[in-house]
């Protein structure tokens, strides 16, 4: 049977990172009319019943479990060697990883070990049978972001790709029998020793869970404080395009797009953002997009549900004043 494997990233302490479940769900959805086994791979401590249920509900048929204390902490060597052994004994047609910090480190190393191809930072996946071969079509922005390229790896397996967290939704609808299978771990000499873990002092913002996002781009560079003020008034998250992150006006944790966070809020309210494909890749799946741009030909209007051609710098103070009026807050002129 054809097989698609998904690396289930273990977010310490023993938590399944959402991206693994997102990839299982999307794989199951796109292979619904092909006979394919969807296999999760989990390294570290044993899986709880609750974790197994989440993997099953997302759509996996089988989980390969490698339990060993060497794998409790992420280690490039241990993880890449173990996944290489599993991939070689299973002959997966396709192997997918999240394009998280770990996935971006592990994916290329694993693909080199397996002498196969990897599409990094894909934003869309399709799987079809082509001449009896299960074929992955992975799409990502290319050539400086001017086009979307669909990439295939026709001669070697597994065909690999890393995909941004948050691009796909986690399904809870499947209920097929889940086989949990253990894979023997082969110990190796340790090359890297983790001496200490230092937790981040400031918890980074989690835009992936935001229901409403107010976002600003270069068009409001000198008025970005109004984007923050509007977001604070509405008690929602603020975000930005890369133009303002590169200019150090907006914090990196608030970047939306190919190199930032992929978001799917109920409403994405954008001010002065042109709609470059790297930005769209991170927000075009929002339920409703409201875009304000002074240029009627801005690309953002192609994905917007509501487009307003206006000077955002004039509109923002008026909007803030109106909301303050409604909330009965004092307006400083
Ligand atoms: C490999 C790579 C990865 C990238 N990753 C990302 C990413 O993750 N996220 C991302 O955002 N970008 C990313 N980029 C950058 C991306 O290509 C664009 O350069 C960036 O998104 C542009 O930001 P912007 O829309 O704010 O600025 P601009 O493209 O300069 O657009 C500014 C917009 O503001 C409008 N405007 C001007 N004045 C006003 C006004 N007064 N009122 C209303 N509108 C006004 C203009 O009409 C224009 O449309 C990446 C690029 C590369 C090459």
Query: How is 261-281 classified by DSSP, letter by letter?
Result: B----SEEEEES----HHHHH
Instruction: Tell me the average pLDDT across 318-331.
Output: 86
3-state secondary structure of 309: strand
> Residue whose CA is closest, atom 12 of ligand 1?
242
- Give residue 321's Cα distance to chain centre: 36
Mutation test residue for ligand 1: of 143, 241, 302, 317, the one with most atoms within 8 Å of CB: 241
Domains of the chain (ranges, CATH numbers): 2-182 (3.40.50.620), 207-327 (3.40.50.1220)
- Residue where the block lists tokens 């001669």: 155
CA of 265 to the centre of ligand 1 (A): 20
Q: What is the mean pLDDT of residues 10-22?
A: 88
State residue 259's pLDDT score. Answer: 85
Q: Is the pLDDT of residue 55 over 70?
A: yes
pLDDT in tens, 180-238: 999 998 887 778 888 887 776 665 688 988 999 999 999 999 999 999 999 999 999 99
Cβ 180 vs Cβ 67: under 8 Å:
no
Q: Quick check: helix, strand or coil at residue 95?
A: strand
Average of per-residue pLDDT values in the chain = 92
Residues of the chain with pLDDT > 70: what percent? Answer: 96
pLDDT of residue 333: 56
Ligand 1 atom index nearest CA of 275: 25
What is the C-alpha separation between 301 and 67, in angstroms, rounded?
A: 50
Mean pLDDT of 136-146: 85
Task: Tell me what pLDDT residue 267 has.
Answer: 97
What is the arithmetic mean of pLDDT over 53-69?
95
169: left (phi over 0), alpha (psi -120 to 50) or beta: beta
* pLDDT for 188: 77
Token couple for 128: 């079809």
CA 181 to each of CA 62, 65, 243: distance values in angstroms, whole numbers, following the listed order: 7, 6, 47
Q: What is the mean pLDDT of residues 66-73?
A: 87
Query: Of the candidates 249, 254, 226, which has an alpha carbon nearest to the alpha carbon of residue 238?
Result: 254
Please write down the long-range contacts of 301-310, taking CB distance under 8 Å and 24 or more positions apart.
301/275, 302/275, 303/275, 304/270
Identify the band that residue 98 occupies on the pLDDT scale cut at 50, 70 and 90.
Answer: very high
Distance 211 CA to ligand 1 centre (A): 22
How many Å lie between the centroid of ligand 1 and the Cα of residue 242? Answer: 7
106 touches 79 (CB < 8 A):
yes
Between CA 318 and CA 264 the distance in angstroms is: 27
Q: What is the model's pTM?
A: 0.74
Give the burial string for 66-96 (b: 16+ CB within 10 Å, else e): bbbebbbebbeebbbbbbebbbeebebbbbb
SS3 at position 260: coil
Candidate from 145, 281, 286 with most ligand 1 atoms within 8 A of CB, to mutate: 145
Strands (DSSP E) contained in 223-326 are: 237-240, 267-271, 288-293, 306-309
- What pairing do the DSSP bridges indicate for beta strands 147-151 and 133-142? antiparallel
The residue whose CA has the least distance to atom 50 of ligand 1 is 278
Three-class SS of residue 176? coil
Q: Is the CB of 311 under 6 A from ligand 1?
A: yes
In this prediction, residue 292 carries a pLDDT of 98
Beta strand pairing call for 237-240 and 147-151: unpaired
């Amino acid at each position: 049977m054809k097989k698609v494997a998904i690396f289930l990233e273990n977010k310490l302490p023993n938590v399944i990172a959402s991206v693994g479940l997102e990839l299982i769900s999307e794989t199951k959805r796109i292979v619904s009319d092909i006979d394919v086994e969807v296999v999760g791979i989990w390294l570290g401590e044993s899986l709880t019943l609750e974790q197994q249920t989440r993997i099953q509900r997302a759509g996996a048929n089988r989980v390969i479990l490698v339990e060993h204390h060497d794998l409790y902490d992420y280690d490039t060597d241990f993880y890449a060697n173990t996944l290489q052994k599993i991939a070689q004994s299973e002959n997966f047609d396709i192997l997918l990883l999240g394009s998280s910090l770990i996935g971006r480190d592990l994916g290329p190393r694993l693909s080199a070990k397996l002498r196969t191809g990897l599409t990094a930072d894909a934003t869309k996946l399709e799987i079809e049978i082509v001449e009896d071969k299960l074929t992955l079509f992975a799409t990502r922005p290319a050539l400086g972001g001017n086009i979307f390229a669909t990439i295939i790896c026709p001669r070697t397996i597994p065909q690999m790709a890393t995909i941004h967290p948050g691009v796909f939704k986690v399904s809870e609808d499947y209920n097929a029998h889940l086989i949990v299978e253990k894979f023997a771990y082969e110990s190796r000499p340790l090359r890297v020793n983790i001496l200490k873990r230092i937790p981040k002092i400031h918890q980074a913002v989690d835009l992936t869970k935001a229901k409403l996002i107010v976002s600003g781009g270069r068009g409001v560079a000198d008025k970005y404080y109004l984007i923050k003020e509007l977001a604070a008034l509405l008690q929602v998250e603020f975000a930005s395009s890369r133009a303002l992150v590169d200019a150090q006006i907006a914090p990196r944790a608030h970047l939306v797009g190919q190199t930032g966070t992929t978001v799917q809020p109920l409403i994405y309210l954008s001010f002065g953002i042109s709609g470059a494909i790297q930005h769209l890749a991170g927000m075009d799946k929002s339920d409703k997009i409201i875009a304000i741009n002074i240029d009627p030909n801005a690309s953002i209007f192609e994905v917007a549900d509501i487009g307003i051609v206006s000077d955002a710098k004039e509109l923002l103070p008026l909007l803030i004043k109106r909301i303050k009026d409604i909330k009965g807050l004092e307006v400083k002129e």
